[in-house]
Structure formats: structure tokens, C-alpha cells
Amino acid sequence: MAVLLQIRNAHKSYGDQILLDGAEATITDDKKVGFIGRNGAGKSTLLRVLLGDEELDLGEVIRHPRLKIGYLRQHDPFQPGESAMDFLMRDSDQPDWKCGEVAGQFEIKGDFLHGPVAALSGGWQTRVKLSGLLLNEPNLLLLDEPTNFLDLRTQLLLENFLRSFRSACLIVSHDRAFLSATCSETLDLTRGKLTMYPGKIGPFLEYQEQRKEHDMRANAAVVAKQKQLERFINKNRANANTASQARSKKKQLERLQTTEIASNEPTAVIIAPAVEPRQGAAARCVDLAIGYPDLVVAKGINLEIEHGERTAIVGDNGQGKTTLLRTLVGSLDEKAGHVRWGHHCKIGVYAQHVYTTLDENDTVLEYLEYKAIPGTTNQQILAVAGSLLFRDAHIHKKIKVLSGGERARLCMAGILLGDYNILVLDEPGNHLDVETVEALAEALLKFKGTVIFTSHDRHFMKRIASAVIEVRDGCAKNYIGNYDAYLYSVSHEIDEGYRSRNSDSVAKSRRDGEKSSGKAIKSGNSPDARPDRKVQKQIKAAERKIKRLEEEKKVYNEQMLACHDPAEAMELHKKIEAISAEITASEDLWLELTED
């Protein structure tokens, strides 16, 4: 285990804003670390410091002599007219066969590999960038919000890539599902301090909450003791007989200190519109075709959305999820067929094409007063505004000075103040932090109306979706199953792709071996073609071992969740890692045996 990076006594500030205040952390070559913290805490700034693009005000970053950083670039690194293959060969100096092999891990083939990279969607371009990272063979990957705007399939491919990546990673992300799937440790940046936790983000957040509750209880006891001492001192300091006791109590009082508790921004408390539950069909699509004046994106769509459902629109980027949503709410005309909404459906829409058309001369408060239903009090309006981060002077800002993210949050606040019984939400979590997304999820679960939405956040989708519509291959249809079933289906397709590539590679090796030895095996006639009993026994033994190890790992995970001692948690984490390594080795053996 080598130390790749060591951050010592790091200080960094912009004006009055302190981002790093004596921060310290160590990154080793065998860890994948999830880097978390509130918006504006300084995570991206620290990444720029590690890359050498910025300097610390004080402190140092010690780098291993053989450190080679791979950074997922957010800007466009491609040259005009070049293909993905051209870019990979130029960026990595690797031969075409090697570039094609690595690109295949991300399903970049055919026209996607040899056609112009500029014509690819953002998700496919991210796959090309990731292929370039792998070809450069770094020993530390720095990824800043890598899942932003990636569809589910690309997210799963990225997870597979990171799990198979043998070196270190430092990943900034608000996506809890992604961090849980890829990172074994958690690095938190709060109030300028870095805290490394030897476990995944879920156990860390639980530990953090338990620690906060413990400190609050301890502080309450300290405050009660302080008040008791103050009363004694005030009562006895003027009395000659008890003055010495009062002085002693005063010294005791001075030694009592409360624990400083990190005060994050207030957690949003979002309350969805109160509506009466209804039954029957909320919307029907009959022989619907969707698209744009010169392009049909999907056709032959026959759908039914029930009242009270929370329907997730899923599918790869570019398949037409947003186009379908826009057609449902009437901002795009049907190309053919029709959409029919039920009686008394009041539709509230959250989407980019809506929040870019707000009246720029209104203030935040004026817009919310206009959107609120009659009878809404000023206090209720201010509460909803505050839950979406419009507080104090921000409530009087003109819309024209708001950023895109602020306008998006304002549109969400306006919807929450209405009496809509249908909510259509296109990527509602894109401009909200983790805590606010959680609050929105809680509100939607309690909402008695109908929700139709898209999102790239799997944690949010799994919590919310009660029904699924899949847009794929020029059509959209009700998916038979919940979001977990859809997630499994996509994961299975990706795994099958990996197995197919591996099988093709194994088959090619065997054909080459047969040619070199001059031997050909006739299918069904050779004894060697029959399954070997010894191999079957080895397969069964490997399966039993994997099951036993998985059960042991589950026990250690449960113990770690209940553990409050950092040292004990570290020991449990080491045991879990050792078992995980055994499981991986056993699974590799099982794959080899089953291929035989």
C-alpha cells in the first residue's frame, strides 16, 4: 500500500469564504474514495489543487514520484471532425487494436467508434472520455460529478469500469447509489475540515447523524451544568463563608466547554400540494407519434397512466424521454395520434423550457405570490421559498439576475404553492443538493395526485417510482415491472455483453490453439466435449464458498452499521475488504470453471 497523495494543514479561502481550514487527508493506491460535502463546501476547489491548477494559501500536497492522475474532463477535448477512434489514438498514443478493445468495454463500436465524435450525445462522449482515461493507465482517477446527465446504461457501464479498475479513485458525487456501488471509503469536507471514514457513504451518514445526536445530548448536559454552577456562583460569591467555594466553582465553570456541532444549511421541508385522491385513467396516448417538424422520434405509442401513480419515464439518452414529456403537456404538438387527459386534471410542469420563460421583471416573491393558490399566507410562501434556498434578501431578487439553477428552484417552489393534481417533472434533482432532493422525495411519496417524471438519480427513482414507461427503439410502452426490475434488466443486458465479449475471446483462443496443434474437436462426439465430473464438483464447491463468504460479509456489514468506535469500525472494514477479495477470487475461479 503506497501513499499517492498526502494533504497536510491545507488552508484555502476566497475573500471571507473559508474552504479549507487546516484540512488533512491521505489517499493510498488501493482505495476508491467517495468525496462528499454540501454545495459550495470546496470539493471542486480541492480537486483543482490536487491537479495543480490552483495553489493552497498555506499547507502542502505531497505527491508520490510515480503518481499519474487521470481526470475526467468536463470540457470538450475533441478536435473538429475526428472520430472516437482518432481521439483515443491521439490522446493515448496506443495502437488502434488496443483503443478498439478498451472502447468495446463501453459498447463503443461501429459508427459510434468510427463516425464523428461531435455527433454523439453527451453520454456517449463521456464513454469516449472514460475509454481515453483507461488507455492512459493512471494510478489515481479524479472524477467530478461523473454521473451528471448520464443515462442508466452509461452509469452502470461506468460502475463496472470503476469496479474493475485496479488503482485508486477520488470521486465527487451527490449520487448516493453510484458512490455506494463504487467506493469503499468516504471523505467528507465540512467547515474546512476533511474527515476520512473507513466505509461506504450509507454507514458514514448514519454514523455522522448518530455522532451529531450524541454531541447535542452532551452539550445539553454541559449547558445544564453551566447554569447550575452559575446559580451557585451568583448566590455565594458575596458571602465571606462561601466565597472560596464560589471561586472554585468558577474555575470549574471555565473548564466546561460544549462541543461545536457543524451547522449545515437548514434542511428543506417540502410540502406537496394537498389534493383529493382520484381513480381511473389520468392520461391516455392513442397511436401517438412524437418528435419535431423534420424528425419522428417515436411512434405507435399506446399508453395509459393511472391517477395516483408515480410514473418514471426511462430509457437511454436520445431515445425521446423529454420529447414524450413535452408532448404530454402540450409544449410539442403530436406528430400523429393524440393525448387525452381526464376531467379536472390540473398539470404543474417542472422543465427547462418552462423556467427559461419566466417574467424577468418579477421578483422572487412576486412570482410566488402569483403562483400561490388564493388563501395562501405570506408565511407559507416564505416557508416554501426558504425550503428551495430563497431566504432573506434573496426573496426580493429580480428573476433577471437569477442563475439557471435559481430559476429552476423558483419554478419548483411555484409548483409546490399551486393546487396541481398532476406533476410533470423533468430532471427535478439536477439543481438541488442531496438534502433537498431527499425532502422532495418525501413530499412526492405523500402526494395524493399523479407524478410523471424523469431522473438520472437512481436513489430518487427507486424511492419514488410506482410505475415505469420505457422509451426505446422508436416506441414507448408501459414496462411490466417496477424500477428495480428495469434496473435489473439493464444490468443483465450489460453483463451479457461482457460475458459475450469474454466468450468470444475464449472461443478465439481455443480456435487458435486447435489450429496450432492440428486437432479439431467434433461437437457431440468427443469425450472431451462432455462436462467433466471433477470440474462440476469444483463449480459446486466454489458456489458454496461464495455463499458462505457472502453471509460472513453480511454479518460484518451489520456489525459495522451498529459500530460507534472508529478504531473498531476500521478493523471491521479490513475484514470486509479481505472477504471481498476472497469473493472476487472465488467468482473468477467460478467463471473459469463454467467456461471450461
* Tens digits of residue pLDDT in 257-287: 877 665 545 566 777 888 889 988 999 999 9
Burial class (CB in 10 A: 0-12, 13-18, 19+), 515: exposed
Task: Check pLDDT > 90 for residue 596.
Answer: no
Mean pLDDT of 193-200: 91
Q: Residue 198 in contact with residue 573, Cβ under 8 Å? A: yes
User: How do residues 442-501 score in pLDDT, each as one tens digit?
Assistant: 989 999 999 999 988 888 899 999 999 999 889 998 888 888 888 888 888 777 765 555
Q: Residue 484 in contact with residue 465, Cβ under 8 Å? A: no
More confident residue, 257 or 512: 257
Task: Check pLDDT > 50 for residue 506.
Answer: no
CA distance linking residue 378 with residue 392, whole number of Å:
14
More confident residue, 317 or 470: 470
**One-letter amino acid of 53:** D
CA distance linking residue 189 with residue 8, whole number of Å:
14
User: How do residues 337-393 score in pLDDT, each as one tens digit?
Assistant: 999 999 889 999 887 666 667 888 999 999 999 988 888 888 888 888 887 778 888
Mean pLDDT of 90-107: 89
**Domains of the chain: which residue ranges?**
3-201, 205-255, 281-480, 531-595
Q: Using alpha carbons only, what angle is made at residue 254 by residues 248 and 255, rounded to the nearest 5 degrees?
A: 95
Q: Using alpha carbons only, what angle is made at residue 540 by residues 539 and 542, rounded to the nearest 5 degrees?
A: 65
DSSP conformation class of 335: S
Quote the cell numbers at residue 44.
471542486
Task: Check pLDDT > 80 for residue 200.
Answer: yes
CA distance linking residue 540 with residue 547, whole number of Å:
11
Name the phi and psi angles at 566, rounded to 5.
-55, -40
Report CA-CA distances (Å) from 194 to 23, 36, 61.
5, 10, 14
* Residue 88 confidence class, pLDDT cut points 50, 70, 90: very high
N residues, the chain? 596
Report CA-CA distances (Å) from 43 to 20, 40, 160, 495.
10, 8, 25, 33
CA distance linking residue 424 with residue 348, whole number of Å:
6
- Least Cα distance to 188 among 178, 200, 366 occurs for 200
Quote the cell numbers at residue 261.
456541532
The percent of residues above 70 in pLDDT, for the chain, comes to 86
Task: Check pLDDT > 80 for residue 309.
Answer: yes
* Residue 226 confidence class, pLDDT cut points 50, 70, 90: confident
Q: Using alpha carbons only, what angle is made at residue 331 by residues 330 and 337, rounded to the nearest 5 degrees?
A: 45
Between 3.40.720.10, 2.30.30.220, 1.10.1040.10, 3.40.50.300, what CATH number should domain 3-201 receive?
A: 3.40.50.300
More confident residue, 254 or 498: 254
What number does CATH give the domain 281-480?
Answer: 3.40.50.300
User: How do residues 214-223 score in pLDDT, each as one tens digit?
Assistant: 888 888 888 8
Q: Which residues have a Cβ under 8 Å from the Cβ of 338 and sit 6 or more positions away?
A: 285, 286, 287, 288
- Least Cα distance to 193 among 182, 208, 214, 206 occurs for 208
CA distance linking residue 112 with residue 184, whole number of Å:
33
CA distance linking residue 342 with residue 302, whole number of Å:
16
Residue 515: per-residue pLDDT: 46
Quote the cell numbers at residue 514.
486447435
Asked whether the CA dihedral 92, 98, 102, 103 is positive or negative, the reply is positive
Residue 519: per-residue pLDDT: 42
Quote the cell numbers at residue 548.
458462505
Task: Check pLDDT > 70 for residue 129.
Answer: yes
Q: What is the pTM of this model?
A: 0.64
Strands 295-306 and 185-190: unpaired
Mean pLDDT of 434-446: 85
Burial class (CB in 10 A: 0-12, 13-18, 19+), 267: exposed
More confident residue, 512 or 237: 237
More confident residue, 526 or 95: 95
DSSP conformation class of 119: G
